[in-house]
Chain A
Amino acid sequence: MKKSLPRLDSKFIVIAISVLLLMYFIVFPLLVLIYDSFFVNGVLDISNYREVYGKAVNWKSLTNTVQLAFIVMIASVIVTFPMAWLVGRTDLPFKKTFRTILVASYMIPPYVGAIAWVQLLNPSVGYLNNIFKAVFGLSQAPFNIYSMGGLAWVLTLFYSPFAFITISRAMEKMDPTLEEAARISGASPLRTLKDVTLPLMMPSIVAGGLLVFIAAASCFGIPAIVGMPGNIEVMTTRIVTFVYQGDSAGIRNATALAVSMMVIANGLLFFMSYLLSHKDYTTISGKSTRPNIVELGKWKPLALLIVGGYAFIAVILPLGSIVMTSFLVSMSKGVELSNFGIDAWIPVITSAQYMESIWRSVVYGVIAACIGTALALFVAYLSVKTKITGRSLPDLLVVLGGATPSIVISLALIITFSGNYGLNIYSTMWILIVSYLVKYMTMSVRTIAASLSQVHSSLEEAALNSGASWIRTCKDIIIPLIAPSIVAGWFLIFMPSFYELTMSNLLYGADTKTIGVLLYELQTYADTQNASVLSVIILVIVLVGNLILNKATKGKVSI
């Protein structure tokens, strides 16, 4: 007993430090944000709520947000359910390729997608608009991306992978004999879909839809690039406008909107996890047989056309547009062979300012990923491997951070860490890194926890029994066994941090401008070509990262 005491101590100290860090950097700022939104100098004052919700423009941003998120949610579910079914349960050709393409937009930064669609469908020189005008002899552009419809379109294309991943995972997990039992009872395939498949999948469909709702409502990049030029404001852009106002009244108004957003987003997420844990039928299954592959027969060409068409529109078209624009010599000349060259690339690659931004983003991403993975390891270990009371508290705190909209996190960090409560890291790189950690650690914890739960505790006990200390056991036994998930966890923090926009945009200082912010500025100043070149560079880095991730985890994890 005496000998085991120091072991317990080192474990305890490490864990206690993790918990304290999480409390200080996640919970404390959110509490400060809520407090500040209700109190001024310790006196209850909700004039900011009255002010915010008393003005039509703010109300409009709220209704716009809810309306958009709702449309995007419904559209995503309607589009992805048949897609998930076709890819998962039929003999559709090229299924694997389609699956990769359909989840690919998950790893493309949303603002890059927005830039691409602005290029394709802006009313004056959009590529697609030009094509439609030429083909149908129209005098006016048929589409205007700077509209609610355009915003919903881009948001749907970029957030439907959330629904696709959730729904297709549930579809794969479902025991196919549940459907076969309905068929043998006399139900037609359509009746089986209605009576068995849909009811069983409903919790996952709702969960996937809510994920899309939250993501669309919390998104800043797409509304900023697509909505703002058309004077369409949503809550995130409103909050940013208030913060840009630069005075304490602006910040107070921003806190009122941010707290409202936080309540909606976190409320929905907790409802969703409740739904999945209490009504997830799909996990109830015995030994499942080979999924029954439906033969499409004469419908095969049509199905191929639908899925292929969607993959083309959602991923290939926008990426193609960005890459093509980056290789245009002059934007004013249009798309012709003589106008192609690397002219736009030269100034970007030789620009010290641009290259510094890219390097900075890589460095911040690496620092965030290293700290985050180490913390994630302790949090996952604590919740999976120990029996300490409150062991899942840090896990819950990390989930809370991840579930909070980026804009809310950045506002909370501004208020808390600009010196009012001791620590002042405002406009340093550390405030950026803290924000990345708060937002992105959750995926890393999930991945590592899933892998840790596969390591039987007897392996660890055997090492302790052989005389190794707890730290030594971690180093010699646990870490080597879960190494792939640690690599995955590292990239799951690095990649989104690398191209982050929403939080960086509010938190950067004179010397800490990141690539996401730079790109956003270029796009706002209508420097489409430089924006395209930078977008291509980001995409290449993300792609390489994803390939490494895929290799390291043998295809099990990718963004």
Chain B
Amino acid sequence: MSGVKLEHIYKRFGKVTAVGDFNLEVKDGEFVSFLGPSGCGKTTTLRMIAGFEKPTEGSITIGDTVMSDAAKGFFMAPEKRGVGMVFQSYAVWPHMNVIDNVAYPLKIQKVPKEERLKRVMNILEVVHLKEYAERLPNQLSGGQQQRVALARALVAEPGLLLLDEPLSNLDAKLRESMRFEISGLQKKLGITVIYVTHDQSEAMTMSDRIVVMSMGKVQQIGKPVDVYSHPANQMVADFVGLVNFIPSEVRGDGKVYLENTDISFPNEKNLSGKVVLAVRPENISLHKDHGMIEGLLHHHFYLGDSIDYRVQVKGHFIRVIVKGAEFGKFKDGDKVFLDFDKVLTFPQQ
């Protein structure tokens, strides 16, 4: 078990800054996700922790060992870092069977053959692959190959496990069940995990903390509930969960007004000038005859457990999701009233 410390990490490729001033301290046994759109620098950061990329600036410490320190020109090769890693493409070696794949880290460590086999079989039992031990990778499904990769990363009992979008090549159902398996395994082994994903629900369900990244910069670090209900900026609000952005302004009385209306909200952040009001679709309620804002129901989709409405308000479309709503209560073209609950305000970008 080991914590990870990243201090002032920069990574530049020529003139492009892929990662800029990344600071993070991951505690022992913590599950941290790097979440962001593709190209945001999350995978590059993970690869710097693994030792596949050299930071241009800054230092990385795993446990009590400094792994790389750009200022001192110090860099430890990936094979000496003692971490486990699961790759997006699984990277299961096609010329070795399941046992040989999983046993490889132990073989490098010169663990005696008998003990090696015992430990391999143990970890294969944990990932439910015991009966596939003799198979070659091309005889396994994607999900099974993923488990082989996981077993191989865990067999040497590393203190830190790195996962690079491990579930993105699996189908939806399997993805969901693997989420629970991975987080269950992490709790059972008490291992520190850094998990890279662009899927917000993966990050929300598994993580102790989420690092939201965009354009090479950390946007917010926090617990899933904080990131969701108190996003640090418009980017985070937009990337994590669904949100309506409505152009607004701060008027003379210091309150936030929806553009071209008299509807106001408290100005908690003491912003001024043009601002953006953010409200999540599930934080809006829909009424037939009373409410803050009047609008026109343009169209709606029935989703089974909820109904997804598009309401036209002063030229804007506002998305409203009502859970367990009664179908047929509102018809397209109806006049409706909206009430906003939990609104957020951001300065206009």
Contact = CB atoms under 8 A, between A and B. Distances in A.
B104 A286 contact: no
B87 interface: yes
B79 A183 contact: yes
Interface in A161-179: 175, 177-178
A459 B108 CA distance: 53
A5 interface: no
Nearest to A179: B91
Contacts of A187: 79, 104, 108
A186 interface: yes
A285 interface: yes
A284 B91 CA distance: 10
Nearest to A281: B94
A186 B89 contact: no
B79 A186 contact: yes
Given A191-B108, A292-B52, A196 B93 contact: yes
Given A181-B87, A187-B79, A200 B95 contact: yes
Nearest to B149: A181
A184 B85 contact: yes
Nearest to B137: A284
Interface residues of A, number: 26
Contacts of A188: 77, 79
Contact of A181 (B81, B82, B85): B85
Contact of A287 (B51, B81, B89): B89
B88 A180 contact: no
B169 interface: yes
B347 to A, nearest CB: 36
Interface in A453-483: none
B83 interface: yes
Given A186-B108, A186-B109, A284 B79 contact: no
Contact of A177 (B77, B87, B104): B87
B159 interface: no
Q: Report which residue of A178, A184, A288 has the largest number of chain B beta carbons within 10 angstroms of its beta carbon.
A: A184
A178 B50 CA distance: 14
Contacts of A351: none
Contacts, number: 81
Contacts of A183: 51-52, 77-79
Interface in A263-316: 281, 284-289, 292
Contacts of A286: 88-90, 169
Contacts of B65: none
B152 interface: yes
B322 to A, nearest CB: 38
A409 B14 CA distance: 54
Contacts of B281: none
B84 interface: yes
A37 B250 CA distance: 98
Given A180-B78, A200-B94, A185 B87 contact: no
A182 interface: yes
Interface string B153-172: 10010000000000001000
A185 B50 contact: no
Interface in A323-378: none
A320 interface: no
B89 A177 contact: yes
A199 interface: yes
B108 A285 contact: no
Contacts of A177: 87-89, 91
A543 to B, nearest CB: 33
A182 B104 contact: yes
A309 to B, nearest CB: 29
A477 to B, nearest CB: 34
Contact of B52 (A180, A196, A200): A180
B241 to A, nearest CB: 26
A185 B89 contact: no
Interface in B49-93: 50-52, 77-85, 87-93
B348 interface: no
Contact of A199 (B95, B108, B169): B95
Given A186-B108, A292-B52, A178 B93 contact: yes
A204 B101 CA distance: 22
Contacts of A200: 93-95
A196 B51 CA distance: 19
Nearest to A199: B95
Contacts of B43: 289
B138 interface: yes
Interface in A229-287: 281, 284-287
Contact of A284 (B78, B80, B83, B94): B94
A287 B89 CA distance: 6
A191 B81 CA distance: 16
28 contacts: A177-B91, A178-B93, A181-B85, A181-B92, A183-B52, A183-B78, A183-B79, A184-B51, A184-B78, A184-B81, A184-B83, A185-B104, A185-B105, A185-B108, A185-B152, A186-B109, A187-B79, A187-B104, A188-B77, A189-B77, A195-B104, A200-B93, A200-B95, A281-B94, A284-B138, A285-B89, A286-B88, A287-B89
Given A187-B108, A191-B108, A281-B94, 10 more contacts: A175-B89, A177-B88, A180-B78, A183-B78, A184-B78, A185-B79, A185-B105, A187-B104, A200-B94, A284-B94
Interface of A: 175, 177-178, 180-189, 191, 195-196, 199-200, 281, 284-289, 292
Q: What are the 10 A-B residue pairs with the smallest beta carbon separation, nearest first?
A: A286-B89, A181-B91, A185-B105, A186-B108, A177-B91, A177-B87, A281-B94, A183-B78, A184-B85, A186-B79
